[in-house]
Structure formats: C-alpha cells, structure tokens
Amino acid sequence: MMKDMRPESLMMSHGYDPKLSEGAIKCPIFQTSTFVFNTAEEGKAFFELAYGLREKEEGEQMGLIYSRLNNPDLQILEERLCLWDGAEECAVFESGMSAISTAILCFCKPGDLLVYSNPVYGGTDHFINHVMTKFGVHVMGIDPTDSLEELKAAIGAHPAANKLSMIHIETPANPTNKLICIKDMRALADHFKQEDRSVVLSVDNTYLGPVYQHPLKHGADLVLYSATKYIGGHSDVIAGACMGRADLMMEVKTMRTFLGNMAGPWTGWLLMRSLETLQVRMERQAKNAKHVAEALAKHPAIERVGYLGFLTEADGKQFEIFNSQCDSAGAMISIYVKGGEKEAFAMLNKMKLVKLAVSLGSTESLAQHPATMTHADVDPETKKKFNISPNLVRLSVGVEHYEDLIADLTQALD
C-alpha cells in the first residue's frame, strides 16, 4: 500500500523502522565506521553478498558491514530518492561530480567513445575533456539541437563510433535552459548498440529533478544529480546521487566502493531532512520564478529572458519537448542583459537580497555569471556557439516572497 503513495507523503518515514532505534521518530545519525557482526558466519555471509560471490537466498538481506560499503543513513536515503524517479536502485555520493565521474568511469574504458551534449555543467565538461581523454577515452560533444538523423551521421563518422559506450546529456542545460529530447537520445543510443554491448544513456537531472522531470520514464538508463542543489536545497551540504536499473547500479555501487567516494552518515542525514520539504520548496520556487521571469521580461535593461515557462508553439521542438518531458518550468532563469560583461557585473554587484554566488536550487535566490564563473573553463568557441555569452546572468529563484525578489532585481537593473 505504501508503495502507491506519492513520494512527498513517504519522505518522513519510508524505509525507517523506529523499533530498531529506541523508538526515535527520526532516523539517528549512525556516526560509525564499522558494524559488529553477531557471529563470524554472519560476517562471512555479508561479505559473500557484498562481493557478489553468490546470489541472495530467499528473503536474505544485505547486512551492515562498514560505512564505505553501506550505512543506514545512506541506505534509507537511497530508498527514498528512488521513489521520486521510479528507480530500482540509488547510490549517494559525497558530491554531484563524484556521482557523475563515477558513472562515467564505470561505463567507459580506454578506446571507447563517450558522447556528451553541449553545454554541460563546467565541472562535467572539464572531467570529460581533460580527465577522460587522459585515460584514452575518445570524447565527442554534440549539438543537441541537431536532428536525430544529423546526430547519427555525425557520430557514425567518428572513427570510434563502433565503440560508443555512453551518451551523457544534461537537460535542461546549465546555464542556458536548452532542452534535449530524452526519447531521441534513447533512439540514438540504441542505433549504436552492438550485439555484445548496449550504450548507456545518462541524464543529469539537477535542474528540474527529482520533482519535475523523470528521465528514466523517457528511456534513460541512469539519472544523475548534484544533490547539493534542489535535493539538499539549503546551501549547507555538497552531495550527489546516481539512480537507475539494478544491474547498472550494481556496477556503479561497486565502483563507488573502490573509489571510496560515498557520502558520509551526516550528509545522508542532512539530505533525509531536506527531502521532507523537497516538494513544497520546489513548488514555491517554481511559482516565484514565474512571477520573477515575467517582471524581468518587461524591464528595459533586459535583452531576453530564457525561462521554460515562456516557450510557445513558435519555439517548435523545444516547446514539444517541454510538454512531453517536463512537469513544470522550474525555477532557473537565464537573463541576457543589454550590453556585455560590464552591464551583467553591474547588475550582480547591485543586488541586495539575491546573493552573488554559484550553486542553485537553494532556499535563497542566487545569481552568477556563467561565462566567467561556473563555465569559465569551457572553451571559447563552445561558449560562443551555445550562448554562454558575456551578458548572461544565471538566476536560481529561492523561497523568498516574489515581490521582494522583483523589487531587488529591478533596483539592480535600474
């Protein structure tokens, strides 16, 4: 019965049994590195399962061993995160970058081809172009506004096309809010699959998820998060998550065990606390963003506002994708001011309530300058091609009263 309830109804209790913790209504922080086995036989059995040396017996549960492998704060958190995306398994990490890098390392080996959408988060872009290439992985950035046929031809022309092992996309894209059709990317991945290998499709869902977009339902294999953003939501913790089918997640979790980049119990506890208010925060933020975007669009110092809620039929495919894939326009706004860096900086320097800081999805509104901050390291041609221009300010709308936000942004623009 509990399974049929909505995720927001289950975030306070799912997966936690108070009887196991002296009746405490909330899951305690299991600040422990290791767990005592009742018998040596039990320890042996747990390790057999942890290392996949044998299959689970009927009704057998994986026991607690050591906090690099598992910990109650992480396990309960992972079960709760699965509910939002309808995932079979989840792994939580100490940062979004560790979730992304671990997933990529898991499915790409030397000689393979890794395809990614442009633009992606600056850190992801760096990891793909400057770290994976060092390990002999071929990488190729695509323009996701190209048609499926154009993309098939472009990837097909790459010398390592028959070794395509992973497609990593980000939709909506950070910082431009451009949308990518996940179903098309599934078709693209399947087009290049070989008899003995499939192509893993991963989606960074940080911008709209886990409430407003569910990539697994549209054909993605893995969904990735910077849980630092909406999931954490209070600018007080760095964390990440990766979710998907059990067989793939088994590989990701094994890689996590040996890289040792799992989140600690305190991070797990903080994220469980955050998940209780995830839905109300995101609803409020999305409502605020609509008011703020509408007000900004009318300001004379603004050239253009990139906000998913402004898409109309005239936007063609972008509008179609929005309707088929997104449950809300979310709370991220790309503001193109009139002028260049000087004008963008003037706005950022004059804000009072909205804070000038990178990151997003938090209770407080944040604004930053992608071209010189989060995406400073992206190569200049790519920046130019995908509109990460000097006059772009990225705004993440928080839970304040929208009239106060509008007043602050208006005085900064004036």
Ligand X SMILES: *Cc1c(COP(=O)(O)O)cnc(C)c1O
List beta partners, residue 164.
113
Q: How far is the CB of 287 from ligand X (least distance, A)?
A: 21
Binding status of residue 256 toward ligand X by CB under 6 A? no
Binding status of residue 328 toward ligand X by CB under 6 A? no
Interface pick for ligand X out of 186, 218, 229, 281 (rule CB under 6 A): 229
Q: How far is the CB of 82 from ligand X (least distance, A)?
A: 19
Binding status of residue 206 toward ligand X by CB under 6 A? yes
Interface pick for ligand X out of 27, 77, 83, 97 (rule CB under 6 A): 97
**Residue 307: active-site member:** no
**Residue 6: active-site member:** no
Q: How far is the CB of 399 from ligand X (least distance, A)?
A: 18
d(CA 168, CA 203): 6
d(CA 197, CA 214): 25
Interface pick for ligand X out of 7, 72, 96, 209 (rule CB under 6 A): 96
Binding status of residue 370 toward ligand X by CB under 6 A? no
Q: How far is the CB of 366 from ligand X (least distance, A)?
A: 11
Binding status of residue 125 toward ligand X by CB under 6 A? no
Q: Are strands 113-117 and 89-93 parallel, antiparallel or unpaired?
A: unpaired
Identify the active-site residue in 229, 256, 383, 394: 229
Binding status of residue 94 toward ligand X by CB under 6 A? no
Binding status of residue 177 toward ligand X by CB under 6 A? no
Binding status of residue 168 toward ligand X by CB under 6 A? no
- When the beta carbons of 231 and 311 are compared against ligand X, the nearer one is 231
Q: How far is the CB of 357 from ligand X (least distance, A)?
A: 12
Identify the active-site residue in 16, 116, 121, 230: 121
**Residue 352: active-site member:** no
The identity of residue 116, as a single letter, is Y
Binding status of residue 118 toward ligand X by CB under 6 A? no
Q: How far is the CB of 247 from ligand X (least distance, A)?
A: 25
Binding status of residue 368 toward ligand X by CB under 6 A? no
d(CA 138, CA 136): 6
Interface pick for ligand X out of 226, 318, 365, 368 (rule CB under 6 A): 226
- When the beta carbons of 176 and 206 are compared against ligand X, the nearer one is 206
Binding status of residue 123 toward ligand X by CB under 6 A? yes
- When the beta carbons of 331 and 360 are compared against ligand X, the nearer one is 360
Binding status of residue 121 toward ligand X by CB under 6 A? yes
Task: Give the range of 50-58, 90-98, 133-141, 192-200 binding ligand X by CB under 6 A.
Answer: 90-98
The pair of three-digit structure tokens given for residue 131, joined into one six-digit string: 């770290």
- When the beta carbons of 174 and 285 are compared against ligand X, the nearer one is 174
Binding status of residue 362 toward ligand X by CB under 6 A? no
SS3 track for the chain = CHHHCCHHHHCCCCCCCHHHHCCCCCCCCCCCCECCCCCHHHHHHHHHHHCCCCCCCCCCCCCCCECCCCCHHHHHHHHHHHHHHCCCEEEEECCHHHHHHHHHHHHCCCCCEEEEECCCCHHHHHHHHHHHHHHCCEEEEECCCCCHHHHHHHHHCCCCHHHEEEEEEECCCCCCCCCCCHHHHHHHHHHCCECCECCEEEEECCCCCCCCCCHHHHCCCEEEEECCCCCCCCCCCCCEEEEECHHHHHHHHHHHHHHCCECCHHHHHHHHHHHCCHHHHHHHHHHHHHHHHHHHHHCCCEEEEECHHHCCHHHCHHHHHHHHHCCCCCCEEEEEECCCHHHHHHHHHHCCCCEECCCCCCCCCEEECCCCCCCCCCCHHHHHHCCCCCCEEEEECCCCCHHHHHHHHHHHHC
Binding status of residue 81 toward ligand X by CB under 6 A? no
CA-derived radius of gyration, the chain: 22
**Residue 68: active-site member:** yes
Binding status of residue 222 toward ligand X by CB under 6 A? no
For the annotated catalytic residues, the residue numbers are 68, 121, 204, 229
Residues of this chain that bind ligand X (CB under 6 A): 95-97, 121, 123-124, 170, 174, 204, 206, 226, 228-229, 238, 240, 360
